[in-house]
Amino acid sequence: MTTAETTAREVGKARARKEDARLITGQTNWTDNIILPGLTYVAFVRSPYAHARITGVDLSAAREASGVIAVFSGADFAAEQGSLPCAWPVTEDIVLPDHPAMAVDTVRYAGEIVAAVVARDRYAAADAVELIDVSYEPLEPVLDMEAAVRPDSPKVHEAGNKSYTWTLANGDMDAAFRDAPVVLERTYRQQRLIPSAMEPRAVVCAPVGGEYTMWSSTQIPHILKIMLALVTGIPEQQIRVIAPDVGGGFGSKLQVTAEEVLALLLARKLGRPVKWTESRSEGNVAVHHGRDQIQRIRIAAESNGRLRALDVDLLADMGAYLMLVTPGVPLLGAFMYNAIYKMDAYRFNCTGVFTTKTPTDAYRGAGRPEATYAIEHIMDDLAAELGMDPLEVRELNWIKHEEFPYTTIAGLTYDSGNYEAATAAAKELFRYEELRTEQSARNGDSAQVRLGIGVSTFTEMCGLAPSRVLGSLRYAAGGWENASIRMLPTGKVEVVTGSSAHGQGHETAWSQIVADELGVPFEDIRVLHGDTQVSPRGMDTYGSRSLVVGGTALVVACGKVREKARIIAAGLLEVSPEDLEWADGRWSVRGDPDQGKAIGEIAFAAFAAHDLPDGVEPSLDSDATYDPDNFSFPHGTHLCAVEVDTETGWVQIRSYVAVDDVGVVVNPQIVEGQVHGGIAQGIAQALYEEAAYDSSGNLITTTLADYLVPSAADLPSITTARTTTPSTLNPLGVKGVGEAGTIASTPAVVNAIVDALRPLGVTDVPMPCTPERVWRAIQEARGGAR
């Protein structure tokens, strides 16, 4: 490819995002902006108890309040609300309790909806909520996963507190562990996290003539539409779901929520449009939470550090109910605990446990960050046990670049990668050897502030698909994606994608891809998404699948447009289609590039339809549905240096380097933003965030004053770079980037902290590594106060 051709291509350019002008200025249509004639406002009464029987609901005072239109309890909806869906019943014998949108007789977590007020404005609705008197008979909460699975534990549901047990095993575990020179056993805790999207959840639902339009701050308009029909019995063709511009999701909006179902039922019952927008504190108790696992890890190795086997036993907190993909989230990690390493045997066992807490579900990375944290933490422990450098023991065990494609012990086939190149680049940028030398010089026994270096070499499975694999895991839906190309008569292009954006830059990246595929200017392309009437087919956005799956669907659809255009161009030029060649947006006669037709000319000729070949329809419009054969596997090396004050426990990140391989990059600026945002969330888990409950099961981190989300001032300057091994699994060569930073960063930070303190006897600091926890870990290692 010549330099001129490279410059002309859109893919690879750091284009400013098309959508930013309206998003950054707020000149857009967020769900809470929507005002409709006759709009009413909904507020919910939520249980203050983690576990209780509802013995009475007195709505009379609220019904008399000024501005109130209607008030309802769970009993009013018992016959029509159905059960909120779980699309991933991971085992045949899974315990899958009914999940009412509004509790009728029992509440199972603090924050569960027990009544609803509909009023003329949101303030009247909020005031009337205070007038509803709900009587409860408190029941004993179930808060500890390990206690919950004991026979004498109080039951969250009649069927018990164990939802399922799922196992994956390959190789001879007994032989691998038998007489192994090194066996390490560790228990790590993945704390519970609260997704904190910039835009809180919001829903507007309008009934018109037996049909319903719902605007929702959702990641999954297509899935939501189907599930609303299944839950409520309203025919699917009478439901339209629109996801307008959505201010972030991180998995928290990958959900079919009680509020969405109730908005639809209330609109049907009242015959009027309704709106609900959550407050931040309401969202903290009601939006599904993330992580919350106990990881018991055993690893066996030779005395030289070569891995023999890995054994993972996981307890995963489901919370009170199974939501859309709750049971499957830990299983995504099942295929990633082995990470980039070769070994002889592997076993993964997961038990899903019910507790009386807010349900958990997907949160950025969904199972992969948890797995990466565990394997990267114990690899550091293994290196320390053997007196080896952490990178040395990793390189001894990782898959070499010449070994790809490589089928791992977990059964996945990684198509491409180069862990050596990414690590070498990271070490150079980080000045790894210099920092190790500095560490040796300054970390004496009397050093108050100690230097630690953390390593995280990772891969992930993303591009969530293919449908056959998801089906084998008992997932209810597929992993395909749909795209349509509309060639307008004036040569402009409308792109319709089933992958609905919530901040990722789809409109820009998709325009770049289509510009290259059709040879039209970037500015002449408009991307439409998020409306099930405009984009009737799609599987939406999660699991870093948008570009890998949705982008490939675009390429396939563009190919169909070109082929239609070739037939019409051949007729216009009076040559055989086989005599034409495609270049720079034109079909030209081979050997005579001046004799040709540009795609815009062909589009207008199709519109006019004056002289088309016989049997050719007057349209270039095309669509495609793409279902990949495999996941994609981005990877990278993240290195972190921290300084730890042993007197106060304070941790300061001194430097952070991330070298990621995400395959071919469509827009470097978007990739940079995704990596930075992901690292911020991973650092937040390592140092700041935790959803905490009191002994009664009440969430005590209900506001951002209690639940610490870091700001830019709390985060380090991040050095990023990329290596590129194109994916062999799709024509774009892309791998996905949305979750990489989150997956890699948490173990890099915690490993750095432990590395600083390991000479003092510290082998772990529970997350988040707050100054108090760091200080306590030091004191306990010294035999001091607990």
What's the pLDDT band for 343 if we cut at 50, 70, 90?
very high
Among 345, 348, 326, 324, smallest CA distance to 335 is for 348
Tokens of 669: 């600026």
Kindly tell me if the per-residue pLDDT of 460 is higher than 80. Answer: yes
Q: What span, in angstroms and rounded, lies between the C-alpha atoms of 712 and 697?
A: 32
Q: What are phi and psi of 267, to 5 degrees?
A: -65, -40
What's the pLDDT band for 445 if we cut at 50, 70, 90?
confident
Pairing mode, strands 413-414 and 449-459: unpaired
Determine the pLDDT at residue 464.
Answer: 84
DSSP 3-state assignment of 500?
Answer: coil
| For residues 35-60, average pLDDT | 98
Q: What is the pLDDT of residues 504-553, one digit of tens each?
A: 999 999 999 999 999 999 999 999 999 999 999 999 999 999 999 999 99
For 348, 374, 384, the CA distances from 177, given in Å and listed in that order, are 15, 19, 20
At 284, which helix (H) or strand (E)? helix 280-286
> Is the backbone peptide bond immediately before 405 cis, with ω within 30 degrees of 0?
yes
| For residues 597-619, average pLDDT | 96
Q: Which residue has the higher pLDDT, 27 or 642?
A: 642
Q: What letter would DSSP give residue 272?
A: S
Give Cβ neighbours of residue 652 (< 8 Å, ≥ 6 apart): 642, 643, 644, 645
User: How many residues would you count in the chain?
Assistant: 786
For 359, 371, 476, 678, the CA distances from 681, given in Å and listed in that order, are 20, 16, 29, 5
Q: What is the pLDDT of residues 188-202, one digit of tens each?
A: 999 999 999 999 999
Q: What is the pLDDT of residues 318-339, one digit of tens each?
A: 999 999 999 999 999 999 999 9
Q: What span, in angstroms and rounded, lies between the C-alpha atoms of 354 and 142?
A: 8
Q: What span, in angstroms and rounded, lies between the C-alpha atoms of 118 and 126?
A: 9
Kindly tell me if the per-residue pLDDT of 87 is higher than 90. Answer: yes
Determine the pLDDT at residue 5.
Answer: 41
Q: What's the distance, Cα to Cα, between the start and end of the chain in Å?
A: 65
Quote the strand ranges of 463-602, DSSP E: 481-487, 493-497, 525-528, 580-583, 586-589, 592-598
Helix axes 221-232, 258-270, angle to 10 degrees: 60
What's the pLDDT band for 1 if we cut at 50, 70, 90?
very low
| For residues 379-405, average pLDDT | 98
| For residues 716-730, average pLDDT | 97
Determine the pLDDT at residue 6.
Answer: 40
The distance from CA 131 to its chain's CA centroid, rounded to whole angstroms, is: 39
Q: What is the pLDDT of residues 490-502, one digit of tens each?
A: 999 999 999 999 9
Residue 546: CA count within 13 A, CB half-sphere: 26
What's the pLDDT band for 768 if we cut at 50, 70, 90?
very high
CB-count exposure of residue 578 (10 Å: 0-12, 13-18, 19+): exposed
Q: What span, in angstroms and rounded, lies between the C-alpha atoms of 148 and 161?
A: 6
Determine the pLDDT at residue 785.
Answer: 54
Average pLDDT, the chain: 96
| For residues 561-587, average pLDDT | 97
Give the residue carrying structure tokens 């409860």.
Answer: 136
Under 8 Å between Cβ of 213 and 242: yes
Residue 407: CA count within 13 A, CB half-sphere: 2
Under 8 Å between Cβ of 564 and 620: yes
Q: What is the pLDDT of residues 157-199, one digit of tens each?
A: 999 999 999 999 999 999 999 999 999 999 999 999 999 999 9
Q: What is the pLDDT of residues 97-154, one digit of tens each?
A: 999 999 999 999 999 999 999 999 999 999 999 999 999 999 999 999 999 999 999 9
User: Count of CB atoms within 10 A of residue 516's CB?
Assistant: 20
Under 8 Å between Cβ of 439 and 641: no
Determine the pLDDT at residue 761.
Answer: 96
Give the global pTM. Answer: 0.96
Under 8 Å between Cβ of 451 and 441: no
26: left (phi over 0), alpha (psi -120 to 50) or beta: left
Kindly tell me if the per-residue pLDDT of 425 is higher than 90. Answer: yes
Among 643, 641, 752, 758, smallest CA distance to 385 is for 758
Among 560, 568, 559, smallest CA distance to 587 is for 568
Kindly tell me if the per-residue pLDDT of 394 is higher than 60. Answer: yes
| For residues 388-394, average pLDDT | 98
